[in-house]
Structure 1
Amino acid sequence: MSELFRKIWHAGSGILLAFIIYYLGPTFFQAVAISVIIFLMIIRVLKSKNYTIPLIDNYLSAFGRGRELGDTAMYFLLGAFIATLFFEKSIAAVSVLVLGVSDALATLVGIHGRHKLYKKKTLEGSTAFFISSFLIINYFYGFFIAIIAGLSSTLVELFGGFDDNIVIPPLCSLIIQLLKII
């Protein structure tokens, strides 16, 4: 599966999850997220014991990178779940949208980038992440909040030594929430 298709799936998932959080509500989203996370954990255990599950194996080979047994989806859902636990639905939805769209664009632009910044990250990819996150946040919360939250999320995506799928939604939500108070 090409990286392009995987990232289109990632962005589409972010859009869908943001829609679910905002329009169907955090409680509904949390129930779905917990169910899917448990399902993915069961699959991980079965796969670790070398069970063959044709439908799941086909999905993982199509959307995974081999080493991932649904890790990206599980971490994405976990990050979104944390954001919905602590922040109002509009903030959580925007933060999930930032992760889905901006992370996908950062990868798609970054793989063609020529100016390395840190590890596999490029100036072009980080710029794509910042611009897209700024545009998303600015649309809902204005320029000042978009600059700070967009830059903070970009720095986490660039330098974070952990899975940004878990960290970006709660962090972006926290920054938006704090800046709304100011």
Structure 2
Amino acid sequence: MHEYGRQMVHLVFGLGIASILLVPVPGLAVLIYASGLLGGLMLVEAVLRGWYVPGIAEIIGALEREDVFPGKGTVYFVASALFCSVAFAPQVAFIAVLSLTVLDSVATIAGLSFGRHKIINGKTLEGSGAGFFALFIVLLPMLHPSAALLVAGVAALAELLSPIDDNLVIPVAVGTALTLALLS
């Protein structure tokens, strides 16, 4: 199915995007994200103008949802990663971007596969629960269990309740919550 492929790409590329924050070179993540965002917007503009961009046209044709501008999810993902890399400490930014990667992919795949109980915005209890649980498990080696629980809960709520694209909201919500938790 089309959406399973999209979510696998989301997961793989999301891990790559998050891992950029682990490179211990100050400012490198910002430079990579800003360059990627600008390059991505140029590609979107080219596609919208009807130009054939080899490789990109095939990816968009195979994976893009109907009735959205080409590459919308990727552009939003990189934009939120760029924001997090500027606004939060590197470790917090990494966890924020990783949270989007894991929760969103797992929740969508589980929701499509096993979802039976719709709760909010077309999301299912099964998908949201699976995304929450998967993120919690992934975060346990990096965070205290209570912090992992907090992050997974904030990410799951942000995905469920966001009135706008969750690629923009989840990392910012997680980064903010984790920063506030670390300050207290």
Q: TM exceeds 0.5?
A: yes
Alignment partner of 1:177: what SS? helix
**CA–CA distance in 2 between the matches of 1:26 and 1:118?**
40
Identity of aligned residues (%): 28
Range with bigger deviation, 112-121 or 40-49: 40-49
Matched-pair contact (CA < 8 Å) for 2:151–2:178: yes
- Counterpart in the other structure of 1:105: 106
Matched, 1:50 2:50: yes
Matched-pair contact (CA < 8 Å) for 1:110–1:125: yes
**What are the within-5 Å matches in structure 2 for residues 160-171 of structure 1?**
160-171=162-173
Gaps of 5+ in 2: none
- Counterpart in the other structure of 1:80: 81
Q: Which has the higher helix share?
A: 1
| TM-score calculated relative to the size of structure 1 | 0.91
Report the alpha carbon displacement of residue 24 of structure 1 after superposing the two structures with TM: 4.9
Range with bigger deviation, 159-168 or 58-67: 58-67
Matched-pair contact (CA < 8 Å) for 1:26–1:84: no
Alignment partner of 2:27: what SS? helix
Letter in 1 for 2:28: F
**CA–CA distance in 2 between the matches of 1:43 and 1:71?**
11
| TM-score calculated relative to the size of structure 2 | 0.90
**CA–CA distance in 2 between the matches of 1:176 and 1:102?**
16
- Counterpart in the other structure of 1:63: 63
**CA–CA distance in 2 between the matches of 1:90 and 1:63?**
31
Matched, 1:134 2:126: no
Indicate which of 129, 137, 152 corresponds to 2:154: 152
Matched, 1:11 2:11: yes
**CA–CA distance in 1 between the matches of 2:69 and 2:103?**
21
- Counterpart in the other structure of 1:21: 21
**What are the within-5 Å matches in structure 2 for residues 110-129 of structure 1?**
110-111=111-112, 112-129=114-131
Range with bigger deviation, 92-101 or 130-139: 130-139
- In structure 2, the CA distance between the partners of 1:53 and 1:18, relative to structure 1 (3 Å rule), is closer
Letter in 2 for 1:176: L
**CA–CA distance in 2 between the matches of 1:113 and 1:96?**
25
Letter in 1 for 2:12: G
Aligned residues: 182
Range with bigger deviation, 106-115 or 63-72: 63-72
Report the alpha carbon displacement of residue 26 of structure 1 after superposing the two structures with TM: 5.9
Alignment partner of 1:121: what SS? coil
Gaps of 5+ in 1: none
- Counterpart in the other structure of 1:179: 181
- In structure 2, the CA distance between the partners of 1:25 and 1:173, relative to structure 1 (3 Å rule), is farther
Across the aligned residues of Structure 1 and Structure 2, the Cα RMSD in angstroms comes to 1.8
Matched-pair contact (CA < 8 Å) for 1:94–1:136: no
Matched, 1:89 2:84: no
Q: Deviations over 1:18-64 (max 9, x none)?
A: 22111254622221211121122222222332223343211211232
Matched-pair contact (CA < 8 Å) for 1:25–1:89: no
Report the alpha carbon displacement of residue 72 of structure 1 after superposing the two structures with TM: 0.6
